[in-house]
Amino acid sequence: MRRTLYTEDHEQYRDTVREFLHREVVPHYERWEQEQLIDRGVLASARKAGLLGLEVPEEFGGSGVHDYRFRAVVCEEAARAHVTSFDVTLGLQDDLVLHYLTDLTTPEQRRRWLPGFATGDVIGALAMTEPGTGSDLQGIRTTAVRDGDAWVLNGQKTFISSGSSADLVIVAARTDPDAGSRGFSLFVVEDGMPGFTRGRKLAKIGLHAQDTAELFFTDVRVPAANLLGGEGRGLANLMSHLPRERMGIVVQAMAGARAVFEDTRRYVFDRRAFGSAVGDFQATRFALAEMATELDVAQAFADQCVLAYNAGELTPVDAAKGKWWISELQKRIVDRCLQLHGGYGYMTEYPVARAFVDTRVQTIYAGTTEIMKEIIGRDLAS
């Protein structure tokens, strides 16, 4: 099926992205996976090449481009190059942190923080999840108490992507225990603030180069000027920004599933068994036919989500539909493709093996499949 999502500008941009990835990322990627950390300098290089921070306003050194199709191109090319951890890191900056800092900041805060994102010299993180609190944001225990011209922050966060390397961390904290959903606020904690410490890098089954850490806050005095988005607005601001985060998962999952499928399609016609190419067996052809159909149908929905987002019309419900369905599809596609590789699919030298562990988290973070269904179900019930 012919896609009509992209223009010539996007395809020219694709050439730039592909060349950058193969020059600056692919040669170092295995080392990053082993060290569980991506070199900071590559983010600055990615910004100069236009892969990162396109939405930073021009007045702060960015391009001011608001077209999610460019981000989708990066996802597709990163999937083809098998550098998933790198793309997740870019997505964390563009789909989460930067989106908060362009939407919720005061003019003074923008002047302080956005120029660093424009150059790629500042890395951000979003700290919501706690040891006992995942999707249930109202269960957050981290507290912030006003004390003069500062807030005193205490608590712990876990599973924080880029937690080891972040210069700025957007932290969700409870500021009024009696105010219900209006009792939460967001704060920007900066590297070096006394009482802000980082724990160990968490050992994950996949996405090894994407550092994930525990964060600790012990009587951290956060200046009142670092309150983000208004007191008591924390939960509402988190909820309003989840569709963009889930949009990122939709595009990443779609690109990842497609890349693994194309790799497998080539593999089964190169691999021979019982005197024939594996792809010549009817069972294999049927499997490929089913996956190709599912991917094309899902791609149509994903592309419509991108266009809806660009038009400001992507609803939380549609983002939830795309997030759960396409991430679950990716899980099925990767598993089936690994099976078609036979024993070689279990070897990490084959991209499908790494994809098997890298993509498993897609149905979990940014809201589990079960939470997505609950969002959709509540909308139907209303």
Active-site residue, selected from the candidate residues 35, 245, 290, 328: 245
Report the alpha-carbon distance of residue 150 to residue 132 in Å, rounded.
Answer: 27
Report the alpha-carbon distance of residue 299 to residue 303 in Å, rounded.
Answer: 6
Longest dimension (CA), the chain: 79
Beta strand 168-174 pairing with 124-127: parallel
231 is catalytic: no
Looking at beta carbons, which pairs linking 140-143 to residues 24 or more positions away fall under 8 Å?
140/172, 140/173, 140/174, 140/184, 141/174, 142/171, 142/172, 142/173, 142/174, 142/217, 143/173, 143/174, 143/175, 143/177
- The residue type at 307: L
Are 60 and 115 in contact, with CB atoms under 8 Å apart? yes
**144 has which bridge partners?**
153
Report the alpha-carbon distance of residue 79 to residue 322 in Å, rounded.
Answer: 18
Report the alpha-carbon distance of residue 279 to residue 286 in Å, rounded.
Answer: 10
Secondary element (H or E) of residue 197: strand 196-201
Catalytic residue positions, numbered? 245
